[in-house]
Chain A
């Protein structure tokens, strides 16, 4: 594969951060398809054919896509695509996105440990406070939402996770 040059990087319409992430993602995809090809060799004949077919095509397509991204030929612009606005600070966008993902991950960890109702109540209050709502409004919104979920749970038999810690305690 040819070496990366500033001309190639600038030919791409993506900001550098996004382009690097895209390169990483496509490379990861290529490695996954190679691993899939190798792993599926150990399956029984009936179970092997389809994953090998998918992995074989996947390796070819991923290699082609990697070459296109590396040489700056992909992605191309045009109406209706999903390229980001150019005026935004890409680093800030990634940082904010990472924080949001981390907060959702914490929420799910809370569900695992303390159950859906408690974790949801805490998350709703914390989120509303983060975006400038008053304590009173945050608590009221959280209480209303949690009550609605509880009513749904009782009326249409939703299954709500109880939480490992709470289940152990009670």
Chain B
């Protein structure tokens, strides 16, 4: 394993691969800074560019992007009081009050450094898990993998939003959209409505960008294009922020571990990770008086957790080929397109590629943090740019990227159709991530289902592993629905404002 790690570092540091990692990191920082966008939009934008790349370059670019969007999204949270993405909502609670009293730089530097340490700890968690991964994945047969996929999809469906039934409907809709095109087992064309375009099914890039990029544009511009009416100055305290993180080392470590654990569990991720960690730091603090008024611990805890979650989320994605979030679903699909099949084969035969992922997270986090520190002035100007100036250029890039998927006007029609559907889902509280994950997993589930039914009939349901995982799935889904049905409805979001980059949920 050590050989694979060293070999992967050598490959990644070659000029070509390192260049792609830098490019992904740069795009991730820009996407993270721009209000209203997030890692999902960035991944969907870069996906068409990975089609012709070798796996190491493509993986480095995409991992570089996902690793740093949560570093950069802090700017709007701290300086404007508007979450730059779903994962930085809790940072507003103490970051914005700090900026209002002239300590924006302190909040930002603490946030960047905590994010970096969080990302590195997340990569470490992924590395430590790998020795246990090989025997575990080899112990699972196709029936167990099928049931594990159902467990993950069920958890994503009920946990992604506040509405478990609508989440399940979203996931099933994704599975249904995945049935369009030719059937893998017989080659029969299904639900193509006589069009050539649908013979290969709906393209993932158009669907993902439609679901996640177009709705953000419509949402911001349909509110008049303003992100926030007020903004604070960057202020002072860069060095103090660094000292704050260093004096709260254990806090960073604890919340990074919690973040990695939440990332590992399918369906949780962005929507709750910051609030869970904010809640924990408030509950366990001796002096709670300053929380909500600008306590630096309220910035450090959620930021270290948010960035550590990527390492945790990659564990089920790489080990079993089961993504637990929308961004992991896109990453998984991109890897498949590049000829890499996440799951047991990858873990057993291509450990070097797994370490490319680990090193990419670590290096991207360090570079991203250095850039965020050193270019804070110009970056802040970019964060304050009105969305109406960004939107047409973004639409151009999205349309261009979408059209490259199959070079058919149908791509643009699908993009717009799912853009409207995504916007309606966003407004009405239907989580979008389960639909994307259902779509990505649809082919895999059909393949597994066909294999187990052909080989075992319904007897596959009697295998001990299947019974255990199935019981877990029913219990997890049932308990989630029960606990959510007992939660009292609250008409406002935690910050009192809608997240502009509500992606990945």
Whether the pair B423, A97 counts as a contact (CB closer than 8 A) is yes
What chain A residues lie within 8 Å of B163 (beta carbons)? 68, 74-76, 81
The reply on A145 being an interface residue by CB < 8 A is yes
The reply on A38 being an interface residue by CB < 8 A is no
The reply on B430 being an interface residue by CB < 8 A is yes
The reply on A36 being an interface residue by CB < 8 A is yes
B176, B191, B224: most-surrounded residue (chain A CB, <10 A): B176
The reply on A166 being an interface residue by CB < 8 A is no
What chain B residues lie within 8 Å of A120 (beta carbons)? 396
Whether the pair B162, A78 counts as a contact (CB closer than 8 A) is yes
Bound Cα distance A54, B225 (Å): 39
The reply on A100 being an interface residue by CB < 8 A is yes
What chain B residues lie within 8 Å of A74 (beta carbons)? 163, 165-166, 429
A58, A61, A111, A161: most-surrounded residue (chain B CB, <10 A): A61
For window 457-475 of B, CB contacts with A under 8 Å fall at none
For window 139-158 of A, CB contacts with B under 8 Å fall at 145, 149, 158
**A19, closest chain B residue (CB):** B428
What chain B residues lie within 8 Å of A29 (beta carbons)? 169, 173
Bound Cα distance A62, B449 (Å): 22
- Chain B's interface size range is 35 or more
Q: Is the interface of A mostly helix, strand, loop or mixed?
A: helix
The reply on B119 being an interface residue by CB < 8 A is no
What chain A residues lie within 8 Å of B270 (beta carbons)? 80
What chain A residues lie within 8 Å of B223 (beta carbons)? 88, 93, 96
What chain B residues lie within 8 Å of A36 (beta carbons)? 176, 179, 191
B493 touches which of A32, A79, A116 (Cβ 8 Å): A79
What chain A residues lie within 8 Å of B505 (beta carbons)? 80, 82
**A52, closest chain B residue (CB):** B179
**A80, closest chain B residue (CB):** B271
The reply on A123 being an interface residue by CB < 8 A is yes
CB B52 to nearest CB in A, in angstroms, measures 9
Whether the pair B427, A81 counts as a contact (CB closer than 8 A) is no
What chain A residues lie within 8 Å of B194 (beta carbons)? none
The reply on A165 being an interface residue by CB < 8 A is no
For window 384-410 of B, CB contacts with A under 8 Å fall at 386, 388-389, 391-393, 395-396, 399-400, 403-404, 407, 409
What chain B residues lie within 8 Å of A116 (beta carbons)? 400, 403
CB A85 to nearest CB in B, in angstroms, measures 6
A25 touches which of B271, B428, B453 (Cβ 8 Å): B428
Bound Cα distance A74, B251 (Å): 37
Whether the pair A49, B190 counts as a contact (CB closer than 8 A) is no
The reply on A118 being an interface residue by CB < 8 A is no
**B221, closest chain A residue (CB):** A100
The reply on B106 being an interface residue by CB < 8 A is no
The reply on B302 being an interface residue by CB < 8 A is no
- Bitwise interface map of B from 424 to 467 toward A, beta carbon under 8 Å scored 1, else 0: 11111111000000000010011001100100000000000000
CB A115 to nearest CB in B, in angstroms, measures 11
Whether the pair A47, B169 counts as a contact (CB closer than 8 A) is no
Bound Cα distance A93, B215 (Å): 13
The reply on B497 being an interface residue by CB < 8 A is yes
Bound Cα distance A124, B113 (Å): 39
What chain A residues lie within 8 Å of B165 (beta carbons)? 61, 64-65, 68, 74
Residues of B within 8 A of A (CB): 86, 89, 161-163, 165-166, 168-169, 172-173, 175-176, 179, 183, 185-186, 188, 190-191, 214, 217-218, 221-225, 270-272, 275, 386, 388-389, 391-393, 395-396, 399-400, 403-404, 407, 409, 412-413, 416, 419-420, 423-431, 442, 445-446, 449-450, 453, 484, 487, 489-494, 497-499, 502, 505
- Could you jot down 20 A-B contacts, CB within 8 Å? A14-B428, A32-B176, A49-B449, A50-B445, A57-B172, A61-B172, A62-B172, A75-B428, A77-B491, A77-B492, A79-B493, A81-B271, A85-B497, A97-B221, A97-B423, A104-B395, A108-B416, A111-B399, A120-B396, A149-B400
Extra pairs beyond A97-B222, A128-B392, A131-B389 (13, CB < 8 Å): A18-B428, A25-B424, A45-B186, A46-B183, A46-B185, A50-B183, A79-B493, A80-B270, A82-B431, A84-B498, A97-B218, A111-B399, A116-B400
Residues of A within 8 A of B (CB): 13-14, 18-19, 21-22, 25-26, 29, 32-33, 36, 39-40, 43-47, 49-51, 53-55, 57-58, 61-62, 64-65, 68-69, 74-86, 88, 93-94, 96-97, 100-101, 104-105, 107-108, 111-112, 116, 120, 123-124, 127-128, 131, 145, 149, 158-161
